[in-house]
């Protein structure tokens, strides 16, 4: 039997096991919406702006490990989605983005709502396709899911001209697909793995440095086993939080620009650095000339281009992080060698000295609400069990520092691109993926306004997200840099004429709570958590002068932190 292109799209999604499509209708995708309307398996979530659709699909993907799916129309629908696509690209999140396109005969004509979707997104997708013939449609969609979810994951865009969605073809969804030019390596080189284990066992001052690759590869368990067996210290990037239990004593906290003193000092002084699924981002390395000056470096990553891109490494291992770590454990099993316990004890004594600096301390007696206190209280009240999404800025760093993630896929934030506006729509995707879980969006009065319209989506689908707004009336991270590096000239970082967020939440049909005093923080959080079926927007009036410490200024070494 022949199906229309639109029906084929929907059947493909169904056969791919897609639960939700996040999207927004428009002229070029009307056939597809009509096909969606006539079935029940694939559910559609109507956002209020296409950026929200991509972030929601992204949040869903990060929380589940399954690809997020987006459907938007041509022209402005697609361009609005670009920020979300770039966000997913930078953090290697699997998305399949379906964009409408003008009919093939009109392509290149500057037709109504026409834009070159494939051209615009080329630099921020893993791959993209323009389908010109309905007979190629099913295979192309299969390829899109395959490419998005394998190797180093990422967003794949499929551009669908309107006439292709109207034309008919027989439907066969291929069970498997082979792409001759795309064969990601998953198994690490055995010789390299043996060399790495040998170096690990010879280390006197080792440290594990782990990133988002651990989460993407579902390798938290095997990583934990390896680290605990060796009893080595471990630090994580912003993207890797939850890949190793933060409450374990071996965890030194996050590293990098706003990482802990002990994590950055351990990096600076280590003799063997074991980098797992991390990419030596500039926010982690600081000045690469001064990065880990005494260390031999092992780097495990599925993307060969990530290896020796920023920092030259000694033992590169290309492969899937989980698989390589399991192979490392096997090599360890087979040897009777063990780490130098004496050297390790001395290393741990040194690390404990650094840890005793208590670099995350802040003024607990202040009469105003300290943002750190809100995060600490949130951690207590939720017993560390919440899913946290975050926007971008100071609140993001405080959440990363003060909420201790023991499990993977609980910390969901835009690390690479740093996209303000990510938090709320991402929380929608997380909440849909885990309807019974507690999902909190950590945000600020700047970020939340970038996708605030999604409060309406939350109402429509009854998503009981808890929004923790750390409202300091400033674009806090901008203000902090201006204080440190621009002699306090606060150019355009003060936000005047803020809305009454409580009234705004109510206007959207939600509950709003304003909190002004430190003593009311815990009570407000408990009240919000008690409202299990409602979205609660808590507007915390926080200290406008608070800064994120420690801080490595741009261009400095990891041992050159600004402390409180």
Partner 1 sequence: MRHIISMLLENEAGALARVAGLFSARGYNIESLTVAPTEDPSLSRLTLVTSGNDEIIEQITKQLNKLIDVVKLVDLTEGSHIEREMMLVKLRAADATARAELKRLVDIFRGRIIDVTDRTYTVEMTGTGDKLDAFIEAVGRRAILEVVRTGVSGIARGEKALRL
Q: Which residues bind partner 1 (CB under 8 A)?
A: 118-119, 122-123, 126-128, 130, 147, 179-182, 303-305, 308-309, 312
Minimum separation from the CB atom of position 430 to partner 1 (A): 29
Minimum separation from the CB atom of position 305 to partner 1 (A): 4
Q: Which two tokens stand for residue 526?
A: 């408990």
C-beta closer to partner 1: residue 309 or 473: 309
Could you confirm whether 112 is annotated as catalytic? Answer: yes
Query: Residues 251, 255, 259, 263: is their CA dihedral positive or negative?
Result: positive
What are the start-end ranges of the E strands in 428-544? 439-444, 466-471, 511-515, 536-541
Give the chain's end-to-end CA distance (angstroms, integer): 70
Catalytic residue among 38, 39, 112, 460: 112
Could you confirm whether 50 is annotated as catalytic? Answer: yes
Could you confirm whether 492 is annotated as catalytic? Answer: no
Minimum separation from the CB atom of position 172 to partner 1 (A): 22
C-beta closer to partner 1: residue 307 or 467: 307
Q: Which residues contact 45 (CB under 8 A, 6 or more apart)?
A: 20, 21, 22, 23, 53, 56, 428, 432, 457, 461
| Contact by Cβ (8 Å): 23, 30 | no
The torsion region of residue 304 among left (phi > 0), alpha (psi -120 to 50) and beta comes to alpha
- In whole angstroms, what is the distance from residue 263 CA to residue 101 CA? 49
C-beta closer to partner 1: residue 152 or 466: 152
Could you confirm whether 113 is annotated as catalytic? Answer: yes
What are the start-end ranges of the E strands in 509-550? 511-515, 536-541
| Contact by Cβ (8 Å): 274, 200 | yes
Q: Which residues contact 404 (CB under 8 A, 6 or more apart)?
A: 246, 247, 379, 384
Minimum separation from the CB atom of position 122 to partner 1 (A): 6
Minimum separation from the CB atom of position 95 to partner 1 (A): 16
Count other C-beta atoms under 10 Å from residue 158's C-beta: 24
Catalytic residue among 126, 142, 143, 162: 162
C-beta closer to partner 1: residue 106 or 511: 106
- In whole angstroms, what is the distance from residue 172 CA to residue 200 CA? 50
Could you confirm whether 540 is annotated as catalytic? Answer: no
Minimum separation from the CB atom of position 77 to partner 1 (A): 21
| Contact by Cβ (8 Å): 420, 478 | no
Catalytic residue among 19, 43, 113, 225: 113
C-beta closer to partner 1: residue 310 or 382: 310
Helices (H), 231-281: 261-269
Q: Which residues contact 110 (CB under 8 A, 6 or more apart)?
A: none
Catalytic residue among 477, 480, 546, 551: 477
385 exposed, middle or buried (CB, 10 Å; 0-12, 13-18, 19+)? exposed
Minimum separation from the CB atom of position 86 to partner 1 (A): 12
Minimum separation from the CB atom of position 65 to partner 1 (A): 22
C-beta closer to partner 1: residue 66 or 309: 309
C-beta closer to partner 1: residue 145 or 373: 145
Hey, what's the torsion of the CAs at 117, 121, 125, 127, to 10 degrees? 50
Residue with tokens 């770590």: 325
C-beta closer to partner 1: residue 117 or 394: 117
- Residues annotated as catalytic are 50, 112-113, 162, 477
């Amino acid at each position: 039997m022949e199906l229309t292109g639109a029906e084929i799209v929907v059947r493909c999604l169904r056969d791919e096991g897609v639960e939700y499509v996040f999207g927004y209708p428009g002229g070029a995708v009307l056939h597809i919406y009509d096909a969606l309307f006539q079935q029940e398996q694939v559910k559609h979530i109507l956002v209020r702006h296409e950026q929200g659709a991509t972030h929601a699909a992204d949040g869903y993907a990060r929380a589940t490990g399954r690809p997020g799916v987006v459907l938007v129309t041509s022209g402005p629908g697609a361009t609005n989605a670009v920020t979300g696509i770039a966000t997913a690209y930078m953090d290697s999140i699997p998305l399949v983005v379906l964009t409408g396109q003008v009919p093939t005969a009109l392509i290149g004509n500057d037709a109504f709502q026409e834009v070159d979707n494939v051209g615009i997104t080329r630099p921020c997708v893993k791959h993209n396709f323009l389908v010109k013939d309905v007979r190629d449609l099913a295979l192309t969609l299969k390829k899109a899911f395959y490419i998005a979810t394998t190797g180093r994951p990422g967003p794949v865009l499929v551009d669908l001209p309107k006439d292709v969605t109207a034309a008919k073809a027989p439907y066969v969804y291929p069970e498997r697909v082979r792409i001759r030019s795309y064969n990601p390596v998953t198994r690490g080189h055995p010789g390299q793995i043996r060399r790495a284990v040998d170096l690990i066992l010879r280390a006197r001052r080792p440290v594990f440095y782990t990133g988002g690759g651990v989460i993407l590869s579902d390798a938290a368990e095997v990583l934990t086993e390896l680290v605990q067996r060796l009893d080595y210290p471990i630090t994580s990037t912003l993207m890797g939080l939850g890949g190793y239990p933060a409450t374990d004593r071996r965890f030194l906290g996050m590293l990098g620009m706003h990482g802990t003193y002990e994590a950055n000092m351990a990096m600076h002084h280590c003799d063997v650095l074991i980098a797992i699924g991390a990419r030596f981002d500039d926010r982690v390395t600081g000045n690469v000339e001064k990065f880990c000056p005494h260390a031999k470096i092992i780097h495990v990553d599925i993307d060969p281009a990530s290896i020796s891109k920023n920092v030259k490494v000694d033992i590169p291992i290309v492969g899937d992080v989980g698989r390589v770590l399991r192979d490392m454990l096997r090599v360890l099993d087979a040897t009777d060698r063990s780490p130098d316990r004496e050297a390790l004890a001395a290393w741990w004594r040194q690390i404990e000295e650094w840890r005793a600096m208590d670099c995350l301390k802040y003024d607990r007696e202040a009469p105003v609400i300290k943002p750190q206190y809100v995060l600490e209280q949130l951690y207590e009240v939720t017993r560390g069990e919440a899913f946290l999404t975050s926007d971008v800025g100071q609140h993001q760093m405080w959440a990363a520092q003060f909420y201790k993630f023991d499990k993977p896929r609980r910390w969901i934030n835009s690390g690479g691109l740093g996209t303000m506006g990510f938090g709320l729509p991402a929380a929608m995707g997380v909440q849909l993926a885990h309807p019974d879980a507690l999902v909190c969006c950590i945000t600020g009065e700047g970020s939340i306004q970038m996708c605030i319209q999604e409060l309406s989506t939350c109402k429509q689908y009854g998503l009981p997200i808890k929004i923790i707004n750390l409202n300091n009336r400033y674009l806090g991270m901008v203000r902090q840099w201006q204080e440190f590096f621009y002699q306090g000239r606060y150019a355009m970082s003060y936000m005047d004429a803020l809305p009454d967020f409580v009234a705004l939440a109510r206007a959207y049909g939600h509950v709003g709570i304003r909190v002004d005093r430190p003593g009311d923080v815990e009570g407000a959080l408990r009240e919000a958590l008690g409202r299990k079926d409602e979205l609660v927007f808590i507007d915390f009036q926080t200290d406008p002068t608070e800064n994120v410490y420690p801080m490595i200024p741009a261009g400095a070494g990891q041992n050159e932190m600004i402390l409180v």
